[in-house]
Amino acid sequence: MRSELAPQAPGFNPALDKGGLMSPSGGLLWHLRALRYRRHWRPFCAAIAQWLATWPHGREHLLLLGPSAGWCLPTEFLATFSTIHAVDLDPLAPWVFNRLHGAGLRRAGVRVRWQRADIFGSLVALLATFPGHAVLFGNLLGQHRLYCTDVAAAEVDLQWLTQQLEGRVWASFHDRLSVDWAPNRAAPERVCTPRSLSSEQLARHFGSAGVWTDHLTAEVIAGDVECHYLPWPLMPRRLHVVEAAWHADAASVP
Ligand SMILES: C[S@@+](CC[C@H](N)C(=O)[O-])C[C@H]1O[C@@H](n2cnc3c(N)ncnc32)[C@H](O)[C@@H]1O
């Protein structure tokens, strides 16, 4: 069977309870952490806003995947669409998102719909239902390994997922690596490269003697696609290296 016809990622397991309030990448713990550290996240959020502003998506509608409450997403960017279909497993995400972005989006006339679903089980149907939407993964893909006991299966799922996106206008920012980081050590400089860097190159550039966690997203961005690598101090003692890249229609690229 051709992989793009497969309705679900190969390792997708609907029995795993990923969407709980204490889930490792969403839910109550995530929102409390965001509330506590959002001041430290400002440079990272500003870098995401700058990068999103360069995406010539040329679309009126957005399929927003794994945005949580959009703690790191700028309302100004979201307001460039007239409708947003947001998908996340976290039952709290719509409510907190509305607190953060609702007023701004209502003023701009943007309509937001929510769906609680697992991307690895629903992506094919979502892409078919919204064929003209731009697609944005909002820091979801690097979280997949947190839910998978089998690293090889997680990698296969991510490969499958990027195959589904062929021909689409899409963008993603996602964890590539993370590492323990001394709280008094300055965050490293961000870097932009003409194509994706390997995990070894990234670890060398961001320099740490610690043990890096690989988030298995090295193959998400393939070919000659400009990549931004942004340091994100998730917590005072933990640094994430986030990769951000977009794909646009040839017609929309200035
Ligand atoms: C790190 S948070 C995203 C943070 C977001 N960028 C922000 O600005 O707040 C990752 C989100 O992805 C969601 N998520 C993780 N795996 C998912 C999956 N397989 N399907 C749908 N949502 C998922 C989690 O529920 C969580 O809300």
CATH of residue 206: 3.40.50
Ligand 1: lining residues by beta carbon, under 6 Å:
18, 25-26, 30, 66-73, 88-90, 93, 118-120, 138-140, 143
Is residue 186 in some structural domain?
Answer: yes
The partner residues of 243 in beta bridges, in order of sequence, read: 174, 229
Give the count of domains, the chain: 1
Distance 192 CA to ligand 1 centre (A): 24
According to the model, what pLDDT value does residue 2 have? 32
Is residue 185 in some structural domain?
Answer: yes
Structure tokens belonging to residue 187: 């965050």
Distance 23 CA to ligand 1 centre (A): 10
According to the model, what pLDDT value does residue 87 have? 97
Is residue 139 in some structural domain?
Answer: yes
Is residue 7 in some structural domain?
Answer: no
Compute the distance between CA of residue 133 and CA of residue 155 in angstroms, rounded to an integer.
26
Is residue 11 in some structural domain?
Answer: no
Distance 148 CA to ligand 1 centre (A): 15
Distance 231 CA to ligand 1 centre (A): 18
| Nearest alpha carbon, ligand 1 atom 22 | 88
What is the pLDDT tens value at each position of the chain, 254 positions in all?
A: 233 345 666 655 655 556 667 676 678 889 999 999 999 999 999 999 999 999 999 999 999 999 999 999 999 999 999 999 999 999 999 999 999 999 999 999 999 999 999 999 999 999 999 999 999 999 999 988 888 778 888 899 999 999 999 999 999 999 999 999 888 888 889 999 999 999 999 998 888 778 899 999 999 999 999 999 999 999 989 999 999 999 998 777 77
Indicate the burial class of 209 (C-beta count within 10 angstroms; 0-12, 13-18, 19 or more).
Answer: exposed
Is residue 114 in some structural domain?
Answer: yes
Structural domain of residue 198, as residue ranges?
19-246
Is residue 140 in some structural domain?
Answer: yes
Cβ atoms of 157 and 197 closer than 8 Å: no
Is residue 254 in some structural domain?
Answer: no
CA distances from 16 to 13, 19, 65, 119, 208 (A): 6, 9, 19, 13, 34
